[in-house]
Amino acid sequence: MNEAIIFDLDGVIVSTDHYHYRAWKEIADREHVPFDEERNGLLRGVSREKSLEILLELAPRTYSAEEKKQLAEEKNKIYRQLLQELTPADILPGVLTWIDEAKEKGLRIAIGSSSKNTDFILERIGLSDTFDAVVTGADVEHSKPAPDIFLLAAERLGAGPEQCWVIEDAPAGIVAAKAAGMKTIGVGEFVQNSGADRWALTLGEAKL
């Protein structure tokens, strides 16, 4: 029996891609930086700071550290305002079934997300008290693709890395989980060829 499951949040539990895109797009347009949904795909699964660095690669000027900090804060403010639209109806198909079945089998479950807004998102969708542990980008020095988030989640669950399955929708997350010595289930088109141990188009189709 597998003893622990660590879920990514964005793209696995709930989809916030369109909120991220709208927020980054507002920043990009204001700064005259080319940005579209294809470019937005490069930001999947990485930290806010790293996302900003990727966005600014096409900027017409350079930015100081203070300017970057301000832009990241402004993006997060816009994003959090958009997240007010989230409700439990936004939980992705298959999620609640996975959670129920894991609990029935006595498996421990955690969230391992780069998002520093994880607690707020879980509150909005009604899952604040569902998981045995929640680890976010605010809890570690190095976010994905470093393994820190998943290693800390395993520690808080009292499980060894070899006992953990990680469910991810982003290549950076698959890399992080493998670096942590964990087994992986990739969900969605972005990780179809990422080297995940198992893959499904949706969580509802995925099997442990």
Spatial separation of the C-alpha atoms in residues 54 and 41, rounded to whole Å: 11
Strand partners, 6: 110, 166
Distance between first and last Cα of the chain: 10
Closest-CA residue to 15 (of 194, 207, 190) = 190
Burial state string for 58-67 with b = 16 or more CB within 10 A and e = fewer than 16: eeeeeeeeee
Residue with tokens 């499951």: 5
The span from the CA of 61 to the CA of 57, in Å, is 9
Task: Give the active site residues.
Answer: 8, 10
